[in-house]
Amino acid sequence: MAAKPAQPLPFDPIDEAARHWESRWEGVLAMRAVTSLMRVQQLVIARLDDVLRPHGLTFARYEALVLLSFTRRGELPLGKMGNRLQVHPTSVTSIVNRLEASGLVRRTPHPRDGRTVLAAITDEGRTVVESATRDLVAGGFGLDVLDDSQLEQVTELLTPLRRAAGDFV
């Protein structure tokens, strides 16, 4: 995961890449857009991880706790967590291992399927997710430079991409 550069670059690296790109290939507008999207994702994740570090969390672990806190019983099969979080099964296992080691989740056997393991949020996990969420909200989830109208525009621009990729119907 890329962190924010120690000092801002003296040039826009995407402008520089675009300059080189257009001398060799087509699709410079799409390249600029996707590179901007990916770079912003890395920068925002780094900011969110900074906010979550005092809570003993990364954004990936925070997302898992939030997902569990949204369920009726506070538990989900690990496979379903991976699908909802869009991460590989080994990543879910790693996330749950770390949350379990911190006392924020516990593994339990599925009551009807002996092959399935559930991750269940603990009371401590619920407390941590509430505190971490307050800090993330206070920091605008790393998007505090955008106003409400711009935040809505970002969502509107990204929704067709998510739908076309099969994220939802």
The domain ranges of the chain are: 11-55, 57-138
Give the pLDDT score at 5. 56
User: In the numeric block, which tokens belong to residue 116?
Assistant: 């399935």
> How many percent of the chain have pLDDT more than 70?
96
Between CA 79 and CA 87 the distance in angstroms is 10
What span, in angstroms and rounded, lies between the C-alpha atoms of 38 and 97?
28
Per the structure block, which two tokens stand in for 136? 């993330």
This prediction's pTM: 0.88
Q: Is residue 19 exposed (0-12), middle (13-18) or buried (19+ Cβ within 10 Å)?
A: exposed
Q: Are strands 75-77 and 105-109 parallel, antiparallel or unpaired?
A: unpaired
38-60 tens-digit pLDDT: 999 999 999 999 999 999 999 99
For residue 6, is pLDDT > 90? Answer: no
Asked: is 57-138 a CATH 1.10.10.10 domain? The reply is yes
Residue 75 has φ and ψ, to the nearest 5°, of: -150, 150
Whether 165 has a pLDDT exceeding 90, the answer reads: yes
Q: Is the dihedral of CA 5, 11, 15, 21 positive or negative?
A: negative
Residue-wise pLDDT for 92-145, tens only, equals 999 999 999 999 999 999 888 888 999 999 999 999 999 999 999 999 999 999
